Amino acid sequence: MNKLKLLPVMAFKGIKQNKLVYRPYLLACFFSVFSYYLFSSLLHNDLMRRLPKANYAWLMLALGKGLLSIILLLFLLYAGSFLQKRRKRELGLYSLLGLERKHIGILLFWENLGLYAVSVTAGILLGFVLNKLMFLLLLRMSQLNVEAAFTFSIGAVVETLRYFVIVFFLLFIRSLWGVYRMKPAQLMSESKKGEKEVKRIWLWSVVGLFCLLAGYYISVTSKLDEMIFTDFFLAVLLVVLGTYFLFTSGSVSFLQFLKKRKKIYYRPSNQVTISGMLYRMKKNAAGLSNICIFSTMLLITLTCTVSLWTGMDQVAYFVHPYDVEAAYSENSDVKEKAEEKAKELAEKYGQKIKRLDCYNSIRLSCGKEEGSNAFVSIEGYDWADQYGVTLLTLEDYNRLENKSQTLDEDEVLFYATGVPFGFDNVVFMGVEAAVKEEPEQIYPFPQTKNRMYNFYADYVIVVKDQETLDSFVTAWAKENGVTDLEGFLHSGVRHLKLLLDGKEAERTAMVREWMEWCQGQQDFLAIENGLEGREGNRSMNGGLLFIGMVFGLLFFMCLLLIMYFKQVSEGFEDQDSFGIMRKVGMSDAEIRGTIRRQILLVFFLPLAGALLHTAAGLVMINGLLAALQFFDTGLLIRCCVGVAAVVALLYAASYAMTARTYYRIVRK
C-alpha cells in the first residue's frame, strides 16, 4: 500500500528531474491539444453552418481535422520514443531496487495521466482564449463579412478530451510494452543503445535511390488530369521511402567510401569527423530523415499557402471573369434593351461599365486523340477525355476583341485555353479548314498563363459567318447521331455578360437589380451571379489557406521539437566519447571544431534534402494549384524562393538554439 501511495510522488519527481526532455515533450502535447481543439471548436460553431458561403470552409476544416488527427498521433508517438529511451535507464534502476513490473506500470500510468491532465487543460484554455481570434482570422481569409459572436462549445471539449484519451492510452501501452519485454539489465543499457545498423547497406542504398528518382520522375512528368492526386500521393510515398533508405543506408555507404580513401581519411580533422559522423549516422539516420520530411512538408505547405493567398484574386476572376452572365435563346433581340438598362443602372449606382459583351455561340463536346488535329464523335471517349469546342462567328469575335479580322471561306481562327493547338489546319467532324491564326486571347474564355495543362482545356473555333457555323454544327450532329437536325441547328445561346468597376456594395445591388430585369425578358434561359461565385471560390480557398497556416505552424513546431530531442539525446550519449577525446590529448578547440563540423553537416543535410525535394516537387505543386485554377507559375516560383529563404533562416536559428543545449550537456 505504501508503494502505491509513493508511486504518484515518484512519477512527479521523475518528470521534474528529467525536465530537460519533459518540457519540450509537454510543449508538443500542449500544442497538439490546442491545434485539435481549434479545429473542433470551429467545426462546432453554428455560424459556420448558417453562413451562405461558409460550407466550403467548413468542408476544408473537416478534411483538415481528419488529416491533423493522423499527423498528431504519429508525431506524439515519435516524440514519445525519445522520452521513453531516456527514461529506460531510470526505470531499470527502479527495477533493480525492488520495484516490480506492475509498480513500474502504475508509475508510467501516473506519468501519462499527469501529462494528459496538464496538456488538455492548458491546450483547451488557450484554445478558449484564442477561439474568437482564430474564428475571425478564418472569416477574414474566407472573406466572409459577418459579425462573429463568441461561443464556447462543450462538444468540441468532449471531442478533444476523447481523442487525446486514445492518444495517451496508446503512448502508455507503448511505454509499458517497452518495459515489460526487457529485463532490468537491458533497461539500464537501452538508453545508450542506438538504432540498429542497416544490413545490406548497398542494396538499400540502390533501393532508396530508385525510390527517390521514381518519385522525382512522377512529380516532374505529372500532368493536370484526373490522375494528378493519385500521382501526388504516389510521388510523396516514393520520396518518403527513398529519403528513409538513403539517410539510413546511403549516407553510411558514402561515409564508408570516404573511410576507405586513405588520402582523405588519414588526416586528423577528417578522421575524427568522418568516424564521428559514421557513428552518428548509423544510430540517428532515421531521426534525420524525419527532420528532412518535416522540413519538406513545411516548405511545400507554406509555398502553396503563400502562392494561393497572393494569387486569390487571379483565381477568382479566372473562374468568374464577369460580375453577371445571362443566357437567352439564339434569336433573342434583348441586346439593345440590356445595354440601355445597364447604362441606366450604372448611372443610378455610380458604377463604370468595363465590359458589356453580347455574342451567340454553341458549345459541342468532341473526341480528340492527343497530338491530332482532328475532332471526332464522342463515341468511345470517357468524359475526362472529351473536349469542349465553342463555335463563334467572326462578327462576334471582332466585337468582343475590338478587331477587324477577315477570313476566307475555308479559313478559321483557332483559340486554345490550354496547350496551343499548333497545327496549320483543323479537321472538325470531317470538315477541313485552314487555321489562319491562333489568337492570344478571347476575353470570355480565360487562358492559363503557362499553357501547360489541358485539364480545363476548351477550344474556340471562329468561323467566317453563320452559314459556315451551321455547316460545322450539321457535321457534328451527323457524326453523333442527332436526329432532330433542324431543332439542333437553332439550339445556340445568346450570352449577355457584364463586368463593372465601382464600390462593392453598390455593385452588388446593381447586379441584383440587373439580374431581376434579365429574368423578366422574353426567351430567358439562365443567369449566373459572378460576384457570388467569386465569394464561394474565395471561401473555399480561404479555408485551405487557414489550414495551410495552421499546418505550417504545426510542421515547424514538430521540426523544432524533433531537432531538440535529437540534440538532447545525442548530448547525453556523446558525453563519454568527448571525455575520452580529452584524455587522449585533443584540445578543447579541436573538440569544438569536430563537434561543429559534425553537427553542421548532420543537421543541414536534411535541409539540403528538403530543398531538393521541394525543387523536384515544384512541377507537381504547380499542377495541384492548377486544379484550383491557379496558373501563375512565375508567382509560384517567387513564393517558393521566398519561403525557402525564410525557412532556411528559421532552421538555422532553431539549430543554433538547440545546439546550445547539446554543447551544455557535452561540456558536463
**Successive 10-residue mean pLDDT values, the chain, 668 residues:** 64 71 79 82 67 58 75 78 69 64 75 86 83 68 57 81 90 77 58 55 80 87 69 81 78 72 67 64 66 85 85 82 87 83 89 89 85 84 78 90 88 86 89 90 76 63 89 88 70 84 88 89 86 77 73 78 73 67 66 66 79 88 79 87 90 77 70
Task: Say whether 124 sits in a helix, a strand or coil.
Answer: helix
Residue 640 has a pLDDT of: 92
CA–CA distance, 107 with 179 (Å, rounded to integer): 12
Residue 413 has a pLDDT of: 93
Transcribe 186-247 into DSSP letters. Answer: HHHHHTT--PPPPSSHHHHHHHHHHHHHHHHHHHHH--SSTTHHHHHHHHHHHHHHHHHHII
Q: Rg of the chain over CA atoms, in angstroms? A: 32
CA–CA distance, 533 with 320 (Å, rounded to integer): 7
Nine cell digits for residue 622: 504547380
CA–CA distance, 240 with 610 (Å, rounded to integer): 11
Reduced DSSP (H G I as helix, E B as strand, rest coil) percent helix, strand, coil of the chain, to 5: 70, 10, 20
CA–CA distance, 410 with 430 (Å, rounded to integer): 13
CA–CA distance, 398 with 339 (Å, rounded to integer): 18
Residue environment code for 106-140, b if the CB has 16+ CB neighbours within 10 A, otherwise e: bbbbbbbeebbeebbebbbebbbeebeebbebbbe
Residue 92 has a pLDDT of: 64
- Helix H segments across 391-520? 394-401, 466-479, 485-489, 504-519
CA–CA distance, 357 with 401 (Å, rounded to integer): 10
Residue 165 has a pLDDT of: 92
The 10 Å Cβ neighbour count of residue 472 is 21
CA–CA distance, 414 with 440 (Å, rounded to integer): 10
Nearest CA to 75 among 25, 111, 19? 25
In the chain the first and final C-alpha atoms are separated, in Å, by 39
Element (H, E) at 273: helix 268-310
Residue 451 has a pLDDT of: 45
